[in-house]
């Protein structure tokens, strides 16, 4: 497990560290303090500099250059501290006391890439985003346009993704996972013992749920942001589309499926309580914590919710395993270190209604 992470030059972090990390880590702080940026940094680090992870981070935030469609360019400058790039601009992400330690750096350069590493460049023309790290990243360089952007043409083949370990990390954004990605993950879970964990998660929200199935391909009449799945309810002969069940069901579905697909890796969840009523949060935390131990997954999540923090204290009270601690990490804008809270401190803060957000 990662016990500490150091971020240098990424987004709003000139230099930032989080220490004393455990099996389950909840990140709190005010708006624009850097919680989501910390999750992104962990995502880029644990995906070993995968350029597709970088693309997903930029695309989700809408960080695009003002170019005409369909030639979308993603603007890399916002990844760097101060939102400015020039040759030599760099951000570095590193995990210490991990087994093994790891780091990855992204550097703006115009140096010809090494022929010893795979590259997404045919001929070096102008600037490139150079990627260095340990373990060695899947590619050494990604070409940038004259405006300093990334285009879809920069990613000619997805075959390079196969060099990465399956299940290294899963990142669930505040919008959750889209239906296409969730169906792909579900197909790895269906008809395996892991399917029971998904059913338990859904039944926390609605005990009448009996079965779930994906609807993919040309017969999928339920496509969309909340589509691709149908649910069988007790006492109802015909299944219904999952979109009829509300956002909470979709959120729990994504959480349960994703954690089974990052064995020995990291699960990252932005605003974990999105769509969930406070009354089921304790069940959600116990499900996540027990699954994290079963699949050897380290979990990092963010929240603004006081109810979410209070419900986490119930896991702290029941956890007797010193090798799998729960921590709360408070991130404050402009500060170089997070403020960690141990399990006992989380319980005390909850009992005494001490504000830790």
Residues in CB range of 222: below 8 A, 6 or more apart: 215, 228, 229, 230, 241, 242, 243
Tell me whether residue 201 is in a domain: yes
Q: Is residue 217 part of a domain?
A: yes
Strands (E), the chain: 4-10, 13-19, 24-28, 73-75, 90-96, 102-109, 128-134, 141-143, 149-151, 169-172, 209-214, 229-233, 240-241, 266-269, 298-302, 326-330, 339-341
Reported confidence tier of residue 26, pLDDT bands at 50, 70, 90: very high
Digit-coded pLDDT (tens) for 221-235:
444 467 789 999 998
pLDDT at 275: 87
Looking at the 3D structure of the chain, how many domains does it have?
1
Domain membership of residue 23 (yes or no) is: no
**Quick one: pLDDT band at residue 7, thresholds 50, 70, 90?**
very high
132 falls within a domain: no
Q: State which residues form the domain around 218.
A: 178-247
- Average pLDDT taken over every residue of the chain: 85
Residue 208: inside a domain: yes
Q: Give the residue-averaged pLDDT of 261-270.
A: 93
Residue 219 lies in a domain: yes
Query: In Å, how far are 2, 95, 207, 224 from 99, measured between CA atoms?
Result: 8, 9, 41, 40
For residue 45, pLDDT beyond 90 = yes
Greater model confidence, 168 or 218: 168
Residue 89 confidence (pLDDT) above 90: yes
Q: Residue 64 gets which letter from DSSP?
A: B
The reported pLDDT for the residue numbered 93 is: 97
Residue 3 has pLDDT above 50, yes or no: yes
pLDDT average, residue stretch 315-329: 78
190-222 pLDDT tens trace: 989 999 999 999 998 899 999 999 876 544 444
Q: What percent of the chain has pLDDT over 90?
A: 46
Residue 164 pLDDT class (50, 70, 90 cuts): very low
Residue 212 has, within 13 A of its CA and on its CB side, a CA count of 30
Q: Taking the CB of residue 56, how many other CB atoms lie within 10 A of it? A: 18
* 320/188 Cα distance (integer angstroms): 32
User: Taken in order 136, 80, 148, 157, is the CA torsion positive or negative?
Assistant: positive
Q: Taking 60 as the threshold, does the pLDDT of residue 238 lie above it?
A: yes
Mean per-residue pLDDT, 35-49:
94
Q: How confident is the model at residue 318 (pLDDT cuts 50, 70, 90)?
A: confident
Evaluate whether 307 touches 281 at the Cβ level (below 8 Å). Answer: yes
Reply yes or no on whether the pLDDT at 155 is more than 80. no
Q: Is residue 85 part of a domain?
A: no
User: In the 8-state DSSP scheme, what is residue 165?
Assistant: P
With 0-12 / 13-18 / 19 or more C-beta atoms within 10 angstroms meaning exposed / middle / buried, residue 31 is exposed
Phi-psi region of 193 (alpha: psi -120 to 50; beta: other; left: phi over 0): alpha
Q: Which has more pLDDT, 193 or 321?
A: 193
- pLDDT confidence of 130, banded at 50, 70, 90? very high
pLDDT digits (tens, 9 = 90+) for 65-87: 886 556 778 899 999 999 988 88
pLDDT > 50? residue 147: yes
Please report whether residue 71 resides in a domain.
no
Q: What is the largest CA-CA distance in the chain?
A: 66
Predicted confidence at residue 33, as pLDDT, reads: 92
């Amino acid at each position: 497990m990662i016990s500490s992470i150091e971020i240098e030059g990424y987004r709003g972090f000139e230099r930032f560290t989080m220490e004393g990390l455990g099996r389950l880590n909840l990140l709190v702080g005010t708006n624009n303090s850097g919680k989501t940026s910390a999750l992104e940094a962990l995502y880029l680090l644990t995906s070993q500099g995968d350029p597709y992870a970088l693309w997903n981070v930029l695309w989700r935030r809408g960080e695009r250059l003002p170019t005409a469609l369909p030639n979308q360019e993603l603007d890399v400058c916002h990844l760097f501290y101060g939102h400015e790039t020039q040759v030599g601009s760099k951000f570095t992400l590193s995990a210490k006391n991990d087994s093994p330690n790891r780091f990855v750096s992204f550097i703006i350069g115009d140096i010809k890439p090494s022929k010893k590493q795979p590259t997404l460049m045919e001929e070096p023309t102008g600037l490139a985003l150079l990627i260095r790290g340990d373990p060695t990243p899947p590619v050494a360089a990604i070409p940038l346009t004259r405006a300093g952007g990334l285009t879809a043409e920069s990613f000619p083949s997805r075959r390079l993704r196969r060099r990465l370990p399956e299940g290294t990390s899963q990142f669930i954004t505040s919008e959750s996972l889209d239906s296409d990605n969730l169906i792909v993950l579900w197909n790895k879970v269906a008809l395996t013992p892991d399917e029971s964990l998904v059913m338990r998660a859904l039944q926390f929200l609605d005990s009448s749920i009996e079965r779930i199935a994906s609807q993919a391909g040309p017969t999928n009449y339920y496509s969309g942001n909340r589509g691709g799945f149908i649910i069988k309810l007790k006492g109802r002969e015909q299944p219904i589309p999952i979109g009829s069940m509300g956002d909470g069901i979709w959120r729990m579905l994504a959480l349960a499926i994703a954690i089974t697909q990052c064995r020995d890796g990291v699960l990252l969840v932005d605003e974990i309580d999105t769509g969930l009523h406070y009354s089921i949060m304790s069940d959600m935390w116990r499900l996540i914590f027990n699954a994290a131990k079963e699949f050897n997954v380290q979990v990092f999540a963010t929240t603004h919710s006081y109810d979410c923090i209070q419900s986490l204290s119930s896991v702290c009270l029941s956890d007797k395993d010193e090798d799998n601690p729960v921590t709360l990490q408070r991130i404050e804008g402009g500060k170089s270190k997070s403020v960690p809270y141990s399990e006992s401190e989380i319980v005390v803060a909850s009992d005494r209604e001490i504000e830790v957000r």
